[in-house]
C-alpha cells in the first residue's frame, strides 16, 4: 500500500468515525467534535513546529492558548464606560514602570562591573521599582474594579470585529513567547520543560487574578461571534422555510447551521496554517531546523545561529497555539480562566503530536482529530463498558455504582495507554516523518 493510500485511509477512517457519531448519536455532537478537532489540529501543528521541527520541549502550550483567549476579550469586547479615565491609564503607566524596572536592572547588570556595587544597585532598583509599581498600580486597579463589579469591573476591549482577535491572539502569544524565549531558551531540555510548565501556570494565575484585565475567575461571557445567532435564524422566515424543505425543525437546523459556519471558518484557518507549515518544512529553512534538531553542534559548526533559530521557531509555534486559543474562545463565546488545565491543554496536545507523528504536519493534524475524537467518545464508551461489566451485579451494589460513576475518568487512563502503546510499538507515530 502506498503512503498516500495509507494516509488517506487513516484520515478517511477518522472522518468516518465522526460521521458515524452523527448518525448514531446526533449531528450536533459530530459537528462539535469536528470543530474542536479542527482547533486541536491547529494546536498540534503549533507544537509540531516546536517539537517536530526543532526539538524544543515546550510544555507551556496551555499558557499560549489562554493568551489567545485573552486576546478575544481585549479585541472584540466593548470598552467599559469610564474605565480608562478612572484608572486605565494609571495601570498602563504602572505596567510601563514595571517593565522599565526590569529593563533598568538588565542594563545595570550588563553595563556595571561585577562586584558589590552592582549587586547593591540591582537590589535597590528592584525594590524601589516594585514599590513604585505597586503604588501606581493599586489605586488604578481599585478604581477600575469598582466600576459595576457585578457585570464589568474590567477595562474591556477595543470593540473590533471578533475575527481580528485571531491574528491578534497569535501576536499576543508570539510577544510573550519572545520574552520567555529570550530568558529560557538557553536552558537544557529538561529545564526548558519545567520553565515552560511554570510560565503557563503563571499566565493562568495572572488571568485569574487580574480582574481589571478580563474579570479573572468571574469570567467574561457573551463575547461577539463571527456567525449568526441561532435565535435570529429561527426568526428569519426564509431560513425556516428552507429548513422545513430539508425536513428539519428550525431549532436543530439553526444550531447545525451555526456550527457548520464555524467549521468552515476553522477549516480555512487550518488549511492556511497547514500549507504554510508544509512550505516551511520543505524550504531550506525547514531543513536547517531539522539539521539543528538532529545535531546542534554540527549545525553550529556550519555557521547556523542555533539560539536565534530556536527563538524564531518557539515564537512561531506559540503564535499558532495562540491563534487556536483565540478560535476556541470564540467558539465557546466566553473566557473562563478557571477551566484551563495543563492535562487538557498541554499534555493532551502533546499526545496528539506524538500519536500522529512528530515532525510530520499531516501526522499532527491527524493526531489532533483522532485524539480529540477519542477524548470526547471514551466517556460514553467507558460508560457502556462499565454497564456491560456490571450487568451481572445487583442493582444496589456499591461497587457497581462506583464503577459507573467513575467511568467519566476513563479518558485520562485511555490517553495514557494510547500514548504508551504508540511510543512502544510505533515510536514515530501513525504518519512518520519522511
Q: Give residues 67-96 in contact with another protein (rule: CB under 8 A).
A: none
Q: Which three cell numbers stand for residue 419?
A: 500514548
Nearer to another protein, 8 or 209 (CB): 209
Q: Which is nearer to another protein, 26 or 119 (CB)?
A: 119
Per CB under 8 A, the segment of 8-16, 92-100, 249-257, 412-420 that binds another protein is 412-420
CB of 317 to another protein, least distance (A): 17
DSSP string, 190-229: HHHHHHHHHHHHHHHHHHHH-HHHH-GGG-B-----SS--
| Burial call 196-222: b when 16+ CB within 10 Å, e when fewer | bbebbeebbebbbebbbbbbbebebee
- Cβ pair 153, 82 in contact under 8 A: no
185 is a site residue for another protein (CB under 8 A): no
CB 101 within 8 A of CB 129: yes
The stretch near another protein (CB under 8 A) out of 70-78, 91-99, 324-332, 341-349 is 341-349
Q: Which of 79, 100, 228, 342 forms a contact with another protein (CB under 8 A)? A: 342
Please report whether residue 19 would count as binding another protein according to CB under 8 A: no
Question: CA-CA distances (angstroms) from residue 357 to 78, 91, 352?
Answer: 42, 45, 8
Residue 183 binds another protein (CB under 8 A): yes
Is residue 372 within the footprint of another protein (CB under 8 A)?
no
Q: How far is the CB of 236 from another protein (least distance, A)?
A: 44
Candidates 189-197, 220-228, 285-293, 311-319 — which segment interacts with another protein by CB under 8 A?
189-197
Helix axes 361-389, 398-406, angle to 10 degrees: 160
Pure H helices in 25-85: 27-47, 61-76, 83
Q: Does 187 bind another protein (CB under 8 A)?
A: yes
Q: What is the DSSP letter of 187?
A: S
Nearer to another protein, 59 or 270 (CB): 59
Contact 429, 357 (CB under 8 A): yes
- CB of 135 or CB of 275, closer to another protein: 135
* Residue among 283, 300, 413, 426 that touches another protein (CB under 8 A): 413
Which of residues 16, 120, 343, 393 is near another protein by CB under 8 A? 343
Binding mask 130-169 for another protein (x = CB under 8 A): x-------x-------------------------------
CB of 161 to another protein, least distance (A): 33
Alpha carbons 246 and 244: distance in angstroms, whole number = 5
Least Å distance between CB 367 and another protein? 14
Residue 215 vs 411, nearer CB to another protein: 411
Q: What grid cell was written down for 1?
A: 500500500
Q: Which of 74, 351, 366, 430 binds another protein (CB under 8 A)?
A: 351
How far apart (Å, rounded) are the C-alpha atoms in residues 370 and 40?
Answer: 10
CB of 286 to another protein, least distance (A): 21
349 binds another protein, rule: CB under 8 A: no
List all residues 6 or more positions away from 417 whose beta carbon is below 8 Å from its beta carbon. Answer: none
Taking Cα atoms as reference points, which of 324, 263, 278, 288 lies closest to residue 431?
278
- 358 three-state secondary structure: coil
Using CB under 8 A as the binding criterion, the count of chain residues that bind another protein stands at: 45
> Using CA atoms, how far apart are residues 61 and 322, in angstroms rounded to an integer?
9
Q: Are 173 and 112 in contact, with CB atoms under 8 Å apart?
A: no
Nearer to another protein, 329 or 414 (CB): 414
Cα distances from 50 to residues 185, 220, 430, in angstroms, run: 12, 31, 19
Nearer to another protein among residue 3 and residue 405 (C-beta): 405
Does 112 participate in binding another protein (rule CB under 8 A)?
no
- Quick one: which of 61, 39, 78, 27 has its CA closest to 331? 39
Among 128, 205, 275, 298, binds another protein (CB under 8 A): 205
Q: What does the binding site for another protein look like in residue numbers (CB under 8 A)?
A: 55, 57, 130, 138, 183-184, 187-191, 193-195, 197-199, 201-202, 205, 208-209, 341-343, 347, 350-351, 354, 405-406, 409-417, 419-420, 423-424, 427
Amino acid at each position: 500500500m502506498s503512503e498516500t493510500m495509507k494516509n488517506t485511509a487513516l484520515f478517511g477512517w477518522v472522518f468516518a468515525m465522526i460521521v458515524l457519531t452523527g448518525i448514531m448519536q446526533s449531528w450536533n455532537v459530530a459537528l462539535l467534535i469536528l470543530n474542536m478537532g479542527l482547533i486541536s489540529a491547529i494546536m498540534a501543528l503549533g507544537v509540531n513546529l516546536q517539537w517536530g521541527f526543532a526539538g524544543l520541549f515546550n510544555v507551556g502550550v496551555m499558557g499560549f492558548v489562554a493568551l489567545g483567549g485573552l486576546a478575544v476579550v481585549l479585541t472584540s469586547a466593548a470598552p467599559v464606560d469610564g474605565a480608562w479615565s478612572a484608572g486605565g491609564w494609571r495601570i498602563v503607566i504602572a505596567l510601563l514602570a514595571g517593565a522599565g524596572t526590569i529593563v533598568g536592572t538588565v542594563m545595570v547588570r550588563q553595563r556595571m562591573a561585577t562586584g558589590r556595587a552592582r549587586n547593591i544597585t540591582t537590589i535597590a532598583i528592584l525594590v524601589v521599582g516594585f514599590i513604585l509599581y505597586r503604588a501606581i498600580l493599586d489605586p488604578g486597579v481599585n478604581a477600575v474594579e469598582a466600576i459595576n463589579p457585578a457585570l464589568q469591573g474590567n477595562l474591556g476591549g477595543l470593540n473590533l470585529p471578533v475575527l481580528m482577535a485571531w491574528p491578534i491572539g497569535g501576536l499576543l502569544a508570539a510577544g510573550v513567547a519572545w520574552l520567555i524565549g529570550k530568558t529560557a531558551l538557553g536552558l537544557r531540555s529538561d529545564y526548558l520543560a519545567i520553565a515552560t510548565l511554570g510560565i503557563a501556570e503563571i499566565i493562568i494565575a495572572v488571568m485569574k487574578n487580574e480582574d481589571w484585565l478580563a474579570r479573572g475567575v468571574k469570567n467574561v461571557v457573551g463575547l461577539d461571534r463571527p456567525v449568526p445567532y441561532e435565535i435570529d435564524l429561527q426568526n428569519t422566515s426564509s431560513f425556516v422555510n428552507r429548513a422545513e424543505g430539508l425536513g428539519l425543525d428550525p431549532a436543530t437546523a439553526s444550531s447545525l447551521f451555526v456550527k457548520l459556519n464555524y467549521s468552515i471558518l476553522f477549516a480555512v484557518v487550518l488549511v492556511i496554517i497547514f500549507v504554510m507549515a508544509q512550505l516551511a518544512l520543505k524550504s531550506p529553512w525547514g531543513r536547517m531546523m531539522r539539521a539543528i534538531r538532529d545535531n546542534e553542534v554540527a549545525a553550529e559548526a556550519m555557521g547556523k545561529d542555533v539560539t536565534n533559530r530556536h527563538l524564531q521557531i518557539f515564537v512561531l509555534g506559540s503564535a499558532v497555539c495562540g491563534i487556536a486559543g483565540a478560535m476556541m474562545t470564540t467558539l465557546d463565546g466566553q473566557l473562563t480562566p478557571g477551566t484551563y488545565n495543563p492535562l487538557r491543554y498541554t499534555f493532551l496536545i502533546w499526545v496528539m503530536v506524538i500519536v500522529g507523528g512528530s515532525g510530520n504536519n499531516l501526522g499532527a493534524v491527524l493526531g489532533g482529530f483522532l485524539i480529540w475524537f477519542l477524548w470526547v467518545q471514551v466517556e460514553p464508551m467507558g460508560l457502556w463498558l462499565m454497564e456491560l461489566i456490571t450487568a451481572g451485579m445487583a442493582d444496589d451494589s456499591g461497587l457497581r455504582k462506583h464503577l459507573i460513576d467513575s467511568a467519566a475518568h476513563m479518558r485520562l487512563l485511555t490517553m495514557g495507554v494510547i500514548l504508551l502503546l504508540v511510543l512502544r510499538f510505533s515510536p514515530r507515530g501513525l504518519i512518520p516523518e519522511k
